[in-house]
Amino acid sequence: MPFDVRTVYLDGSVELAVSGEIDLSVAEQFWNAIEHAMSPDRPLVLDMQRVTFFDSTGLAVLVRTLNKLNRDPAKLILRSPSSIVMLVLSVTGVDQRMTIQDRGDDMEATKHALR
């Protein structure tokens, strides 16, 4: 599956829907999309459920993003990362440096808010 990133604007927040393979050949494109969407006023959400390959260059882009966001885990939210993304993040310990949400977490939060 080829790499693709789409920007979605929802109620004042920005989400990047990322899909396909993230490797050296697309790292700069991935970074450019992130840099364009970043704002100090709101968290950056990366929906990574459709990422099919993720290596150290993708990891480096996420670490660079964290550094640019002053290493604030609340400023970088990975939504529904695929199993390969979670494997790389957990093996390296980077999963402890950002917020990771599952789509189910959002639905539960919404359910609780409506009660």
3-state helix/strand/coil string of 78-112: EECCCHHHHHHHHHHCHHHHCEEECHHHHHHHHHH
Which token pair is 20?
């396909």
CATH code given to domain 4-114? 3.30.750.24
- CA separation for the pair 86, 78 (Å, rounded): 10
Task: Calculate the CA dihedral of residues 77, 83, 84, 90 and round it to 10 degrees.
Answer: 60
pLDDT tens readout for residues 7-42: 998 777 789 999 999 999 999 999 999 999 998 888
pTM assigned to the model: 0.85
Domain boundaries, the chain: 4-114
